[in-house]
Amino acid sequence: MSEHASKLYPAPEALARAAHVPGMAAYEKLVAEAREDYEGYWSRLARELVSWKKPFTKALDQSNAPFFKWFEDGTLNVSYNCLDKNVEAGLGDKTAIIFEADDGKVTKVSYKALLDKTCQMANALKAQGVKKGDRVVIYMSMSVEGVVAMQACARIGATHSVVFGGFSAQSLRDRIEDARAVMVITADEQLRGGKQLPLKAIVDEAIGLGGCDSIKSVIVYKRTGGNIAWTAGRDQWMHELTAQQSTTCEPEWVSAEHPLFLLYTSGSTGKPKGVQHSTGGYLLMAALTTKWTFDLKPDDIFWCTADIGWVTGHTYIAYGPLALGATEIVFEGVPTYPDAGRFWKMIQDHKVSIFYTAPTAIRSLIKAAESNEAVHPKKYDLSSLRILGSVGEPINPAAWEWYHEHVGGGRCPIVDTFWQTETGGHMITPLPGATPLVPGSCTLPFPGIDAAVVDETGKDVPWGQGGILVVKKPWPSMIRTIWGDPERFKKSYYPADFQGKYYLAGDGAIRDEKTGYFTITGRIDDVLNVSGHRMGTMEIESALVSCTDLVAEAAVVGRPDETTGEAICAFVVLKRPRPTGDEAKAIAKQLRDWVGKEIGPIAKPKDIRFGDNLPKTRSGKIMRRLLRSVAKGEAVTQDTSTLENPAILDQLGQAY
């Protein structure tokens, strides 16, 4: 057997027989159906998976490409599809959400209760003057209330923009200002790993920074009861507002193209982009990918460990599982508290059958399990698991094997799902009852997704040869535009290089010579992936140089990191003589704190290196390729003949 063949994991037979997509022949059939009648294929699924108030008459409108429209004359409501529809189908008493708090306290919420809460919240939003099309920023911890806030916005046709609770006041302010949001929904504090962390105080700070005049009210969920400041007239307690509200609220029936949400993500410039998603096409893919990729069945207990602040938490917590009437876990805490066995204990306690997490989490839990037997997954009963998933970054084969063997007991397929904030749902992924798995490969496109690997001119490259990942045909849940910046949308995703025809993912990929399986080789732009979180190098650079008292110039690159995938390395020129020793350490700390304040803790550079200046070509360009070698600790083998000041390479050798 060749090395390749020995690494193939076929779909377990029993699972394959009963799966939604049972075997490769079934997969191929769907692929063929989409190839032969693309619009017919998506229309069929859109009718099967989505309830329409008014049926659509046309699937895809390409008349204003690349601003594609799907199912545009159809009307629907996402919250109706996630809640009312299930209650009407007799699932009112079924548990929708099992919420486990940081301290382990468990609360179960039925579909009926979730619908009631959502209607009360929706009515409260309306009473505050929020209207269809208004933007509402949600800056919340992982909570039932966070999901309710999202569903309530959807119910009244308001467009939500969830901002991850780890972002700083400055980042929050920028997003509020860009979206011109009318309201912020937040909590007094969040609880993570036994610690009380501020949320409301950061909202106050963000609004205090100015530029947020669009905000009329701040709704506060009382989570900890901690001390917070209060602005009378603007701030309102969520429980007080909702208590008086009716538990019925007629859904706002919107066009399929109505913007359901904005989600800001990093790009290759300093300014995050507000990715705008639709209602109908997005809901279709959220439901369909949840169903097929995880082979979701009525009795499954589904757990996606992502935060609702990221796209994974949108599609696979707030929308997909609920649209299918599933029971899902919402977890407030962190994987290492009270110890690194928390995930395994929760799988055991709640009999989780589908578990979806990130490679970073797996790698850090491997480390923990290797140094402490007590938190090794073998100490727990994980026999309820049937399917495992991975998302956010490439999963290295060693982590894959460990996940497969120690968490999945060798019996659970791992779906390595490649997708992006912009794609709305899975793009390239195995289907558990069909696709034979190869560790480290996200395998084949989801049926109907026309993914390809091309060269700079847009020509397909042969299998076995690396290139640029593109999607050739528009798909229902694709990004519609960048909020307020259609030109940037075109430039970023439909560049002239491909005559504006193909969607550019921003990742490199290679297809296996024999199987055609895709492996993602990483970003080809200036975006880093740190613990599965996207960070723009330019964003961190501009945060550093905004420390004008200290920093003259900065360049940021990534280097591989065993646990976080990539680590952020900053090269900094100060406005004072280059520091060394303790002084350098102290300034490095100061700069990290600064970046933490400007963007958020996830953006803090791991390494900071100081130079008298940065390596530049004679024409003044920073030699980033060379900086990447320095960051990796590699000997510099590149041609340095164009380097203006070779001596500084020595200075940059020391990281603080």
Per rule CB under 6 A, is residue 520 in the interface with ligand 6R9?
Answer: yes
422 contacts: CB under 8 Å, gap ≥ 6: 265, 275, 478, 479, 493, 505
Q: Nearest approach, Cβ of 421 to ligand 6R9 (angstroms)?
A: 3
Residue 160's nearest CA partner among 74, 44, 276 is: 276
Per rule CB under 6 A, is residue 141 in the interface with ligand 6R9?
Answer: no
Among residues 245, 312, 435, 629, which is the contact residue for ligand 6R9, using CB under 6 A? 312
x-marked contacts with ligand 6R9 along 349-388 as a string, rule CB under 6 A: ----------------------------------------
Pairing of strands 533-536, 527-530: antiparallel
Q: Nearest approach, Cβ of 286 to ligand 6R9 (angstroms)?
A: 13
Among residues 416, 450, 598, 607, which is the contact residue for ligand 6R9, using CB under 6 A? 416
Q: Nearest approach, Cβ of 420 to ligand 6R9 (angstroms)?
A: 4
Nearer to ligand 6R9, 143 or 529 (CB): 529
Per rule CB under 6 A, is residue 263 in the interface with ligand 6R9?
Answer: no
Per rule CB under 6 A, is residue 417 in the interface with ligand 6R9?
Answer: yes
Nearer to ligand 6R9, 40 or 560 (CB): 560
Task: Please compute, for residue 83, the number of CA atoms within 13 A of its CA located in the half-sphere on the CB side.
Answer: 29
Phi and psi, residue 491, nearest 5°: -65, -40
Q: How many residues belong to the chain?
A: 656
d(CA 262, CA 277): 6
Nearer to ligand 6R9, 71 or 502 (CB): 502
Would you say 368 and 334 are in contact if contact means Cβ atoms under 8 Å apart? no
DSSP string for 444-488: SBPTT--EEEE-TTSPBPPTTS-EEEEE-S--TTS--EETT-HHH
> Any binding-site annotation on 421?
yes
Nearer to ligand 6R9, 235 or 393 (CB): 393
**For residue 218, how far is the Cα from the chain centroid?**
25
Residue 439's nearest CA partner among 413, 409, 408, 478 is: 413
Among residues 72, 393, 539, 598, which is the contact residue for ligand 6R9, using CB under 6 A? 393
> Any binding-site annotation on 173?
no
For residue 210, give Cα distances in angstroms to 206, 410, 455: 7, 54, 45
Number of residues that bind ligand 6R9 (CB under 6 A): 23
Q: Nearest approach, Cβ of 648 to ligand 6R9 (angstroms)?
A: 31
Residue 478's nearest CA partner among 159, 69, 154 is: 69
Q: Nearest approach, Cβ of 338 to ligand 6R9 (angstroms)?
A: 28
Q: Which amino acid is at 166?
A: G
Q: Nearest approach, Cβ of 300 to ligand 6R9 (angstroms)?
A: 21
DSSP letter assigned to residue 12: P
**For residue 206, how far is the Cα from the chain centroid?**
23
Per rule CB under 6 A, is residue 265 in the interface with ligand 6R9?
Answer: yes
593 contacts: CB under 8 Å, gap ≥ 6: 604
Nearer to ligand 6R9, 354 or 505 (CB): 505
Per rule CB under 6 A, is residue 523 in the interface with ligand 6R9?
Answer: yes
Among residues 126, 350, 480, 534, which is the contact residue for ligand 6R9, using CB under 6 A? 534
**In the numeric block, which tokens belong to residue 392?**
């956010």
Per rule CB under 6 A, is residue 262 in the interface with ligand 6R9?
Answer: no
Residue 298's nearest CA partner among 20, 80, 26 is: 20
> Any binding-site annotation on 47?
no
**For residue 397, how far is the Cα from the chain centroid?**
22
> Any binding-site annotation on 192?
yes
Would you say 72 and 56 are in contact if contact means Cβ atoms under 8 Å apart? yes
d(CA 90, CA 85): 9
Nearer to ligand 6R9, 394 or 615 (CB): 394
Nearer to ligand 6R9, 259 or 536 (CB): 536
Among residues 241, 311, 555, 627, which is the contact residue for ligand 6R9, using CB under 6 A? 311
Phi and psi, residue 225, nearest 5°: 75, 10
Q: Nearest approach, Cβ of 310 to ligand 6R9 (angstroms)?
A: 6
**Contacts by 337-340, CB closer than 8 A, 24 or more apart:** 337/102, 337/192, 337/193, 337/194, 338/194, 339/368, 339/372, 339/374, 339/375, 340/364, 340/365, 340/368, 340/369, 340/372, 340/375
Nearer to ligand 6R9, 310 or 571 (CB): 310
Among residues 506, 558, 600, 605, which is the contact residue for ligand 6R9, using CB under 6 A? 506
**In the numeric block, which tokens belong to residue 315?**
């599609």
Stretch that binds ligand 6R9, among 149-157, 504-512, 573-581, 643-651 (CB under 6 A): 504-512
Per rule CB under 6 A, is residue 178 in the interface with ligand 6R9?
Answer: no
Residue nearest to ligand 6R9 (CB): 421
x-marked contacts with ligand 6R9 along 437-456 as a string, rule CB under 6 A: -----x--------------
CA angle 366, 367, 369 (to 5 degrees): 65
**b/e sequence 423-452, b meaning 16+ C-beta within 10 Å:** bbbbbbbbbbbbbbbbbbbbbbbbbbbbbb
Per rule CB under 6 A, is residue 511 in the interface with ligand 6R9?
Answer: no
> Any binding-site annotation on 523?
yes
Among residues 196, 384, 420, 515, which is the contact residue for ligand 6R9, using CB under 6 A? 420
CB neighbourhood size of 96 (10 A)? 27
> Any binding-site annotation on 393?
yes
Stretch that binds ligand 6R9, among 130-138, 304-312, 333-341, 481-489 (CB under 6 A): 304-312
What region, left, alpha or beta, does residue 552 occupy, with left being phi > 0 and alpha being psi -120 to 50 degrees? alpha
Nearer to ligand 6R9, 218 or 275 (CB): 275
> Any binding-site annotation on 135?
no
Nearer to ligand 6R9, 228 or 285 (CB): 285
Q: Nearest approach, Cβ of 360 to ligand 6R9 (angstroms)?
A: 11
Q: Which amino acid is at 218?
A: V
Stretch that binds ligand 6R9, among 19-27, 323-331, 418-426, 454-462 (CB under 6 A): 418-426
Nearer to ligand 6R9, 333 or 424 (CB): 424
Nearer to ligand 6R9, 74 or 440 (CB): 440
Nearer to ligand 6R9, 116 or 393 (CB): 393
Residue 654: burial class (beta carbons within 10 Å; 0-12, 13-18, 19+)? middle
> Any binding-site annotation on 72?
no
Per rule CB under 6 A, is residue 296 in the interface with ligand 6R9?
Answer: no
Among residues 56, 418, 489, 610, which is the contact residue for ligand 6R9, using CB under 6 A? 418
> Any binding-site annotation on 420?
yes
Task: Tell me if residue 76 falls in helix, strand or coil.
Answer: strand
CA angle 85, 87, 93 (to 5 degrees): 150
Tell me which residues touch ligand 6R9 (CB under 6 A).
265, 310-312, 391-394, 416-421, 442, 505-507, 520, 523, 529, 532, 534
Bind-site residues for Mg(2+): 545, 551
Bind-site residues for CoA: 192-195, 312, 531
Bind-site residues: 192-195, 312, 392-394, 416-421, 507, 523, 531, 534, 545, 551
